[in-house]
Amino acid sequence: MPRLVVAVFAQGSMGAGLAGRLTRHGAQVLTCLDGRSASSRARAAEAGMVDAPLSALADADIILSITPPAEALAFARSLAPALAAAARPPVFADCNAISPETVRQAAHVVTATGAPFVDASIIGLPPGPDDDGPVIYASGPDAARLLPLGDHGLRIKLLQGPVGAASALKMSYAGITKGFAAIMSMMTLAAARSGAAEALRAELAISQPGFLKTYGRQTQGMFPKAYRWVAEMQEIADFASGDPEARAIYEAVSRFYGRLAEDYEGEQAETGILGGFGRG
């Protein structure tokens, strides 16, 4: 049986983590390192990813697009010429944290080339050595074409629904989990400004220990990722646009994560407080 060839773009912690799982289970994983940072190159090498020109990604059996949300549509457009020229177009799975409307735009770009498109959403952390890794939900008429990934170490779940269903699940889930992190962070900073942060933490430890445990896990990796969450929260705001109040909340959360991202790269006046609160 021919070896499964998967293209993964890009090489962040999730992309490289899934690539490493795939290579350990017998798949060949292609990526494109043109213009990528030294840290991206190091993650790709550790995961066993094979560097290839961008156009060569269309030679894979399956393409997993795992980019920052703001880059998802641009990546689909950049690969469209290679998809159109492929003798056997690969399955293109958009795995990004984008709204159903944005994923439908990506689907239009990809299917116009003749390539099958799958709306996919990743829920969970990058796979570690001792866990099953995240779940990849897939929807749309070609969703079942991701099932071979299940034979190579990934967890695939099919959703009964059109393109947009998996992205709607991701938007709802991320809106809850990252919205919770934002509310906890905002109120922690408000308490700190008023000299009540220690009392707040002590009370939460007694009456809401689950909140503290969850927030402690989130803050471990939240600040380096906050810049990515700016666009993701805007996608959630667009997703929730049928409710004006919900849209306004997530637009504000987007701006808040932008502020945290700038602070983390600078003085860490706020992220330092939040990190200490999360660690306890």
72-121 tens-digit pLDDT: 999 999 999 999 999 999 999 999 999 999 999 999 999 999 999 999 99
Residue 189: which residues within 8 A CB-CB, separation 6 or more?
A: 270, 273, 274
Burial of 55 (0-12, 13-18, 19+ CB in 10 A): middle
Give dist(CA 26, CA 228) in Å, integer: 31
Higher pLDDT, 264 or 130: 264
Q: What CA–CA distance (Å, rounded) separates 227 from 230? A: 6
Please provide the average confidence, as pLDDT, over all residues in the chain: 97
CA distance 169 to 93: 16
Place of tokens 């709306």: 119
Using the predicted structure, report yes or no on whether residue 2 has a pLDDT greater than 90: no
Helix (H, G, I), strand (E, B) or coil at 135: strand
Please report the pLDDT score of residue 280 as a whole number: 78
CATH number assigned to the domain covering 5-162: 3.40.50.720
Main-chain dihedrals φ then ψ at residue 202, nearest 5 degrees: -65, -40
For residue 210, the model assigns a pLDDT of 96
Q: pLDDT tens, 205-250?
A: 999 999 999 999 999 899 999 999 999 999 999 999 999 999 999 9
Rounded Cα distance between 83 and 80, Å, is: 5
Amino acid at 185: S
pLDDT of 193 higher than 90: yes
What average pLDDT does the segment 169-180 reach?
Answer: 98
User: Would the pLDDT of 1 be above 90?
Assistant: no
pLDDT tens for 123-133 read 999 998 788 88
What is the mean predicted confidence (pLDDT) over 30-47? 97
**Can the peptide bond before residue 143 be classed as cis, meaning omega within 30 degrees of 0?**
no
The percent of residues in the chain predicted with pLDDT above 90, rounded, is: 96
